[in-house]
Chain A
Amino acid sequence: SQQGEEDPQALSIQEGENATMNCSYKTSINNLQWYRQNSGRGLVHLILIRSNEREKHSGRLRVTLDTSKKSSSLLITASRAADTASYFCATAPSGNTPLVFGKGTRLSVIA
């Protein structure tokens, strides 16, 4: 089953704009991770945020986590054409269970 649900399903923006993607989940988690997937390639890990953290930064990426609302957001600032990809959130549920991936957001950055 897919616990994480990303929103929107697709997003198209101009280069230089910011892109925001949201993820909602259903059960308690140990951490939440964001991955990027370029067309025809495997997933690449971007950032991990633990359940006791509220915000985390990595370069142009900013991730927030609200465990009371069971939601997370990924912000990409000053987007580039190379950011065009699908972005997935993955939740690590509490207990000894594997990561569960959402259906992803397809981001298109137009030069």
Chain B
Amino acid sequence: EAGVAQSPRYKIIEKRQSVAFWCNPISGHATLYWYQQILGQGPKLLIQFQNNGVVDDSQLPKDRFSAERLKGVDSTLKIQPAKLEDSAVYLCASSPGPEGQPQHFGDGTRLSIL
């Protein structure tokens, strides 16, 4: 089966600019996750979708981050405006169903803020 697809792989922007990331999960996976991974740390959950509804966005900085999953398939994550501390790898993952199941990860988008 095809894996989780993410684009772009790399992005360099200046602070205060906006950026968007795209994720296509594994076909049939109802649950989609966005994580932020800062260098040297583990992934931190930003938002979790079940189909096209938000299950958990408690750690999403809602003043600057937004995410949507239209039609319960693809998802986009947006940052506007970006801050220096947003430099990180943004990982998308999917799983067939509820929490606790193994997750399948894409290779991420490496974001650098200048």
Q: Is the CB of A99 within 8 A of B42?
A: no
Q: Are A98 and B48 in contact, CB atoms less than 8 angstroms apart?
A: yes
Counting chain A residues whose Cβ lies within 8 A of the other chain, the interface size class is 20 to 34
B43 touches A103 (CB 8 A): no
Contact of B42 among A2, A48, A97 (CB under 8 A): A2
How many residues belonging to B are interface residues under a CB distance threshold of 8 Å? Answer: 24
Partner of B102, one of A4, A33, A42: A33
Number of A-B contacts (CB under 8 A): 57
Interface flag for B44 (CB, 8 Å):
yes
| Interface CB pairs A-B, < 8 A, 20 | A2-B44, A4-B42, A33-B102, A42-B105, A43-B43, A43-B93, A43-B103, A44-B105, A45-B102, A45-B104, A48-B102, A96-B99, A98-B48, A98-B56, A98-B99, A99-B100, A99-B103, A101-B43, A102-B42, A104-B42
15 more contacts with CB within 8 A, not counting A41-B107, A96-B98, are: A2-B42, A2-B44, A40-B107, A40-B110, A42-B106, A42-B107, A43-B43, A45-B102, A48-B102, A88-B43, A97-B99, A98-B45, A98-B99, A101-B44, A103-B42
